[in-house]
């Protein structure tokens, strides 16, 4: 079925178009993004169950962007009378004039930027979904989540160790967005969902957690298979409970697709967000056309790259979604760009202008960040290593576009000796290094690929958006601690 | 419709919905935002928003269980749409069987007397002026900054008769500083949160950040130190104390993640006089409210005293599961009990890490992890500057021999020892 575009937004479209038109009398460029995205989040654990109509991306509101005298300004609002666009216009103009008076008082000058183009475009996209979150059988789903949780606790980890807690989560959001200017009317609707199973066990008075997730640009039908995550989560818990601390040093490693995704995200995801080029905060700007990885490295970025949680049709500035080749056979080709940064850099926007929600500013943000697959097999990769680790489970990472440092906290490493897994596990593993060294050391790439869309991505320590990342197994050289 | 009658309408709908209990949280925000690239204005923004969140409760099985469901009333919803939304919540609440608990009851809190309404224009002026007054040089300057100044009004009502309002300023300044030398340029990221603008503290911190930048340009690759005592002298140390706060959280205890017991040491075999208190106010904190988000009055309450667990705190659901009489969700935390002078803390051989890409103490496992971006190695007589590599360890081992300075420092909602020393962490170098 098609995910239907919001009736609410459709009913407000004429009034909001009128608002755009009214604002154009005082501003050279006006755009408006309106959102209406309901969704649910369910959780079940040993002692508590919860149902909420709130996810990371549920929202309803509007943001207006205006341009005058080289300066861009925005006003976000959500309470308004659609029958009185003049009243909204007055509120917006009064709020911005108050700010302008302060800026004038302090002698602040704008970062001069050309006016955005407003090429005519009409788009109406309703993407496929199996079911809708608004119509989901909540009773059935919470019961299913509770059963999975109870089963996990009853069975314990795969080695029989008791499970202290087993939390099962399911969330699904129906996104509807409408982007309006004088010449553009873009509307899209899609549903994405994500589910997780997390188990906690204790050994030597220390809690250890395992976690597995599924996600995609699909409806709540995704949760029909949620129970299949439990055995893997139980197995991983047994692994981390028996894990030893890593011996710091440099090792040959194989990164599983989720860890590969973390590297893609932290290394050349954040590293080529071109709003950072404008601020001269990214080394990547000086490396376009130069080698940044081995010839095994090809990386794509774009909402069109995968039907993931961030597989939209247009971004939050009304730029159509893209598929950008960032690195081709080790050579950095280009970055990703929001519309204002594109103007400032004389580049083309790539459909990566995203907001946390209607209240937040647009930044250049990632969508799907993926290493291309190769032709090796995991078995051959393991067989090629004399002493090293197979790294699985992506916990968190931190970008460093200015210095190309990389930090990835990986859940566990499986020891490889003389071309075979020994059964020894280390956890947690902090993988650090210099991005070109890490990417330059990639020597084998598997033929398969995984894409992961659970969790969110911040810019610095804020501005959380949905992203997905992944790729194949990679063999590389990395420093572990 | 004005705000008062809008909330009254929602209240009426909830009262007649068949819900056994309900809560409304109405948050109104006027936010001013300024984004600078160097000292030119990238964008200015205004937020004029209101979010009304409701939670409905259904008693199940002769008050043996309580079901609940929550959500935000979609902005712009008509009366019929609100009623339909509440009806949906109520239906969902009946599917959620949690052990019974009561909503908070009306109780007088300690209110600010004549607290002025936040003046976002004046606070914005203070922030912009402070940033512009930071002395820059040819080799150190401000790359960019983002300022967020918000006037927040939160009204909480429930079916038990609570109707309380908190109004307060909440601010954030994100500043990126560059330092350069002989063609090399580095950046340092700072994120300050507070109530209003403390211009003197902001400028002082940024001046120190520029010094840090100069040092980073001289840093060598971190050696493989192996086991090493580490001193934390920046806001990264907050993560260490958050770990202890999490162990005293009622939810953590109910789920079995915390093994703290009232009257017993929270530091295992250690003998550390750590005292942690949830306090209603800290100077210029962004969380100086009289009531918590569930309408419970906030009163200064000791969580840990001289290393011994005194009180768990948390939401009313988990607090009641633990049988806590007076509880709330803490906003501000004061840590005391440090007994060491700076000279004593800085004795012998240690690594002082002042910049991380990210520093984490995992609440669940106690695992410590961070990538080192700048550290000073003190061998007892000389100081060397390093960058790169990582620090790892676990709080269950490191916390037992923690040393805290007498002198304290405040980072928004946390007042903590200015210096914290953890023993025997593992330093993986890059040399």
Mutate to test the interface with A, among B10, B27, B41, B359 (most CBs of A within 10 A): B41
Residue B211 covered by a domain? no
Pick A479's closest partner by Cβ from B88, B124, B428.
Answer: B428
Which chain A residue's Cα is nearest to B127?
A106
A79–B50 C-beta distance less than 8 A: yes
My answer on whether B165 and B224 are in the same domain is: no
How far does the CA of residue A160 sit from the closest CA of chain B (Å)?
A: 19
**Same domain, yes or no: B318 and B419:** yes
B325 by Cβ neighbours in 10 Å (0-12 / 13-18 / 19+) ranks as: exposed
Q: For residue B271, what pLDDT is reported?
A: 77
Q: Is residue B293 domain-resident?
A: yes
Which whole number is the average pLDDT over A160-175? Answer: 97
Res B110: pLDDT: 67
- Residue A102: the pLDDT is 98
Task: Clarify whether residues B104 and B9 are in a common domain.
Answer: yes
Dihedral over Cα of B426, B427, B430, B431: its sign: negative
Residue A402 has pLDDT above 90, yes or no: no
Query: pLDDT value at position B13?
Result: 97
A363 within 8 A of A354, measured Cβ to Cβ:
yes
Q: Does residue B421 sit in the same domain as residue B345? A: yes
* Contact state of A76 with B426 under an 8 Å Cβ cutoff: no
Give the nearest partner residue to B255 out of A80, A96, A165, using CB atoms.
A165
Residue with tokens 């976690």: A211
From B211's Cα to the closest Cα of chain A, the distance in A is 18
Q: What is the pLDDT of residue A432?
A: 86
Q: With the CA atoms of B33, B137, B353 and B192 taken in that order, what torsion angle do they form, in degrees rounded to the nearest 10?
A: -20
What residues pair up with A140 in beta bridges, in sequence order?
none
**Chain B touched by A73 (CB under 8 Å):** yes
Domains defined for chain A, CATH in brackets: 7-37+56-119 (no CATH), 126-241 (3.30.2290.10), 249-480 (no CATH)
Do B168 and B297 lie in one domain? The reply is: no
What CA–CA distance (Å, rounded) separates B5 from B1? 6
Evaluate whether residue B197 is within a structural domain.
Answer: no
Whether A305 and chain B come into contact, CB under 8 Å, resolves to no
For the residues of B39-50, what is the DSSP string, one character each?
TEEEEEEEEEEE
Question: So what's the pLDDT on residue B113?
Answer: 54
Cα distance between residue B60 and residue B81, in whole Å: 26
Q: Which residues of A touch B39 (CB under 8 A)?
A: 108-109
Give me the residue from A74, A77, A106 closest to B43, CB to CB.
A74
**Structural domain range at position B405:** 219-431
Torsions phi, psi for A96 (to 5 deg): -70, -35
Q: Which of A36, A47, A139 sits opposite B255 (nearest CB)?
A: A47
CB < 8 Å to B141, chain A: none
A345 in reach of chain B (CB within 8 A): no
Tens-digit pLDDT profile for chain B (431 aa)?
567 699 999 999 999 999 999 999 999 999 999 999 999 999 999 999 999 999 999 999 888 999 999 999 999 999 999 999 999 999 999 999 999 999 999 987 766 555 789 999 999 999 999 999 999 999 999 999 999 999 999 999 999 999 999 999 999 999 999 999 988 899 999 999 999 999 999 999 999 999 999 999 999 999 999 999 999 999 999 999 999 999 999 999 999 999 999 999 998 777 789 999 999 999 999 999 999 999 999 999 999 999 999 999 999 999 999 999 889 999 999 999 899 999 999 999 999 999 998 899 999 999 999 989 999 999 988 999 999 888 999 998 898 889 999 999 999 999 999 999 999 999 998 87
Residue B372 in any domain: the answer is yes
Of the partner residues B129, B357, B360, the one whose CB lies closest to the CB of residue A400: B357
Q: What is the model's pLDDT at position B112? A: 56
- Partner-chain contact A430 B256, CB within 8 Å: no
For residues B397 and B283, state if they share a domain.
yes
Residue B181 located in a structural domain: no
What is the CATH number for B75? Answer: 3.30.2290.10
Same domain membership, residue B145 and residue B245:
no
- Nearest-CA distance B71 → chain A (Å): 5
- Six-digit token pair at B415? 């007042």
Q: Which of A278, A402, A409 sits opposite B37 (nearest CB)?
A: A278
Please tell me the predicted confidence (pLDDT) of residue A188: 98
A95 interface with B at CB cutoff 8 Å: yes
**Alpha-carbon gap: A127 to the closest alpha carbon of chain B (Å):** 23
Residue B202 resides in a domain? no
In a shared domain, residues B228 and B349: yes
Arithmetic mean of pLDDT, A332-344 = 97
Q: Quick one: A430 exposed, middle or buried, by C-beta within 10 A (0-12, 13-18, 19+)? A: buried
When pLDDT is cut at 50, 70 and 90, the band that residue A270 belongs to is: confident
Give the one of A102, A249, A481 whose C-beta lies nearest to B124's C-beta. A102
Average pLDDT for chain A: 96
CB-nearest partner of A407 from B121, B371, B394: B371
Using a CB-CB cut-off of 8 Å, the residues of chain B touching A91 are: 48
CB of B201 closer than 8 Å to CB of B171:
no
B367 plus B244 within the same structural domain: yes
Q: At what angle do helices B120-133 and B199-216 cross, to 10 degrees?
A: 30
Residues of A within 8 A of B174 (CB-CB) are: 460, 462
Please check whether residue B207 lies inside any domain of the structure.
no
B388/A109 touch (CB, cutoff 8 Å), yes or no: no
- The verdict on residue B214 lying in a domain is no
Q: Which of B364, B396, B426 sits opposite A209 (nearest CB)?
A: B364
pLDDT value, residue B151 = 97
Q: Which two tokens stand for residue A217?
A: 């640009």
What is the mean predicted confidence (pLDDT) over A110-124? 96
Q: Say whether pLDDT at A204 is over 90.
A: no
What mean pLDDT comes out for the span A347-375?
97
User: Which residue in A has a C-alpha nearest to residue B364's C-alpha?
Assistant: A207
Q: Is A295 an 8 Å CB contact of chain B?
A: no
**pLDDT, average across residues A190-203:** 97
Predicted local distance difference test score (pLDDT) of residue A401: 81
Q: Which of A210, A246, A279 to mutate to test the interface with B (most CBs of B within 10 A)?
A: A279
Instruction: Tell me how close the Cα of B24 comes to any Cα of chain A, in angstroms.
Output: 14
User: Quick one: pLDDT band at residue A55, thresholds 50, 70, 90?
Assistant: very high
Give the best residue of A409, A459, A477, A480 to mutate against chain B (max B CB count within 10 A): A409
User: Could you give the CA distance from residue B431 to residue A155 in angstroms, rounded to a whole number?
Assistant: 46
Residues 96-125 of A with CB under 8 A from B: 96, 98-100, 102-103, 105-106, 108-112
Domain count within chain B: 2
Could you give phi then psi for residue B90, rounded to 5 degrees?
-65, -40
Contact A78 B49 (CB under 8 A): yes
């Amino acid at each position: 079925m098609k995910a239907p575009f919001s009736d609410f937004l459709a009913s407000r479209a004429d009034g909001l178009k009128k608002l755009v038109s009214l604002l154009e009398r005082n501003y050279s460029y006006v755009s408006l993004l309106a959102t209406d995205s309901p969704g649910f989040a369910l959780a079940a654990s040993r002692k508590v169950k919860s149902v909420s109509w709130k996810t990371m991306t549920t929202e309803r509101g509007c943001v207006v962007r205006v341009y005058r005298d080289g300066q861009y300004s925005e006003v976000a609002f959500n309470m308004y009378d659609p029958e009185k666009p003049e009243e909204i216009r007055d509120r917006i103009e009064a709020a911005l004039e108050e700010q302008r008076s302060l800026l004038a008082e302090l002698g602040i000058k704008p970062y001069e930027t050309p006016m955005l183009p407003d090429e005519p475009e009409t788009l109406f996209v309703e993407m496929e979904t199996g079911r809708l979150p608004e119509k989901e059988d909540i009773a059935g789903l919470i019961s299913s989540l509770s059963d999975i949780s109870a089963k996990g606790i009853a069975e314990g980890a795969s080695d029989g160790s008791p499970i202290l807690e087993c939390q099962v989560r399911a969330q699904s959001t129906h996104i509807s967005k409408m982007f309006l200017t004088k010449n553009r009317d873009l509307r899209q609707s899609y549903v994405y969902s994500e589910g997780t199973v997390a188990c906690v066990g204790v050994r030597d008075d220390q809690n250890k957690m395992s976690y597995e997730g599924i996600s995609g640009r699909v409806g709540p039908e995704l949760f029909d298979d949620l129970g299949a995550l439990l055995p893997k989560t139980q197995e991983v818990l047994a692994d981390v409970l028996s894990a030893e601390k890593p011996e710091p040093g440099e090792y040959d490693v194989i990164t599983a697709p989720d860890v590969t995704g973390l590297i893609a995200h932290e290394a050349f995801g954040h590293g080529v967000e071109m709003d950072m080029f404008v601020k001269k905060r990214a080394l990547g700007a000086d490396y376009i056309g130069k080698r940044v990885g081995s010839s095994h490295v090809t990386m794509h970025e774009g909402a069109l790259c995968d039907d993931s949680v961030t597989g939209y049709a247009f971004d939050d500035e009304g730029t159509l979604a893209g598929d950008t080749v960032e690195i081709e056979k080790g050579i950095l080709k280009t970055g990703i760009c929001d519309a204002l940064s594109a103007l400032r850099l004389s580049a083309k926007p790539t459909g990566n202008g995203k907001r946390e929600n209607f209240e937040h500013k647009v930044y250049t943000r990632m969508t799907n960040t993926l290493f291309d697959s190769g032709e090796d097999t995991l078995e051959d990769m393991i067989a090629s290593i004399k002493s090293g680790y197979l790294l699985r489970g992506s916990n968190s990472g931190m970008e460093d576009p200015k210095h190309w440092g990389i930090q990835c906290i990986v859940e566990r490493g499986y020891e490889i000796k003389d071309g075979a897994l020994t059964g020894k596990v280390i956890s947690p593993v902090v993988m650090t290094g210099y991005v070109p060294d890490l990417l330059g050391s990639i020597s084998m790439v598997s033929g398969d690929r995984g894409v992961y869309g659970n969790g969110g991505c911040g810019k610095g320590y804020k501005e959380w958006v949905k992203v997905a990342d992944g790729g194949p197994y990679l063999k590389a050289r990395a420093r572990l601690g | 419709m004005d705000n008062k009658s809008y909330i009254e309408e929602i209240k009426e709908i909830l009262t007649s919905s068949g819900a056994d209990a309900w809560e409304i949280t109405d948050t109104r925000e006027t936010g001013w935002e300024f984004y600078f690239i160097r000292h030119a204005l990238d964008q200015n923004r205004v937020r004029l928003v209101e979010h009304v969140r409701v939670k409905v409760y259904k008693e199940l099985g002769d008050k043996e269980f309580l079901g609940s469901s929550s959500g935000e009333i979609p902005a712009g919803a008509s009366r019929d749409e609100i009623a339909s939304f509440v009806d949906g919540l109520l239906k969902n609440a009946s599917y959620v069987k949690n052990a019974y608990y009561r909503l908070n009851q009306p109780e007088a809190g300690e209110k600010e007397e004549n607290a002025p309404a936040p003046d976002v224009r004046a606070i914005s002026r203070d922030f912009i002026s402070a940033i512009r007054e930071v002395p820059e040089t040819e080799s150190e300057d401000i790359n960019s900054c983002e300022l967020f100044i918000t006037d927040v009004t939160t009204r909480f009502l429930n079916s038990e008769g609570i109707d309380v309002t908190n109004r307060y300023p909440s601010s954030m300044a994100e500043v990126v500083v560059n330092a350069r030398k002989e063609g090399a340029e580095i950046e340092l990221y700072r994120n300050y949160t507070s109530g209003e603008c403390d211009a003197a503290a902001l400028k002082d911190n940024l001046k120190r950040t520029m010094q840090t930048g100069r040092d980073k340009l001289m840093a060598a690759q971190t050696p493989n130190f192996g086991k090493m005592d580490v001193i934390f002298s920046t806001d990264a140390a907050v993560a260490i104390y958050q770990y202890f706060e999490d162990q005293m959280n009622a939810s953590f205890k109910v789920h079995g993640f915390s093994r703290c017991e009232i009257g017993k040491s929270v530091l295992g075999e250690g003998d550390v006089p750590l005292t942690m208190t949830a306090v209603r106010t800290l100077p210029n904190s962004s969380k100086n409210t009289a009531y918590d988000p569930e309408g419970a009055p906030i009163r200064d309450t000791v969580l840990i005293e001289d290393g011994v667990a005194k009180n768990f705190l948390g939401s009313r659901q988990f607090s009641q599961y633990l049988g806590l009489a007076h509880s709330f969700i803490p906003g501000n935390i004061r840590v005391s009990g440090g007994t060491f002078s700076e000279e004593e803390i800085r004795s012998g051989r240690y690594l002082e890490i002042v910049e991380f890409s990210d520093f984490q103490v995992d609440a669940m496992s106690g695992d410590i992890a961070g990538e080192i971006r700048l550290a000073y190695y003190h061998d007892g007589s000389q100081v060397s500057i390093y960058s790169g590599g990582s620090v790892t360890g676990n709080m269950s081992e490191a916390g037992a021999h923690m040393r805290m300075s007498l002198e304290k420092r405040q980072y928004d909602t946390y007042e903590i020892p200015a210096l914290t020393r953890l023993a025997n962490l593992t330093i993986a170098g890059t040399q």
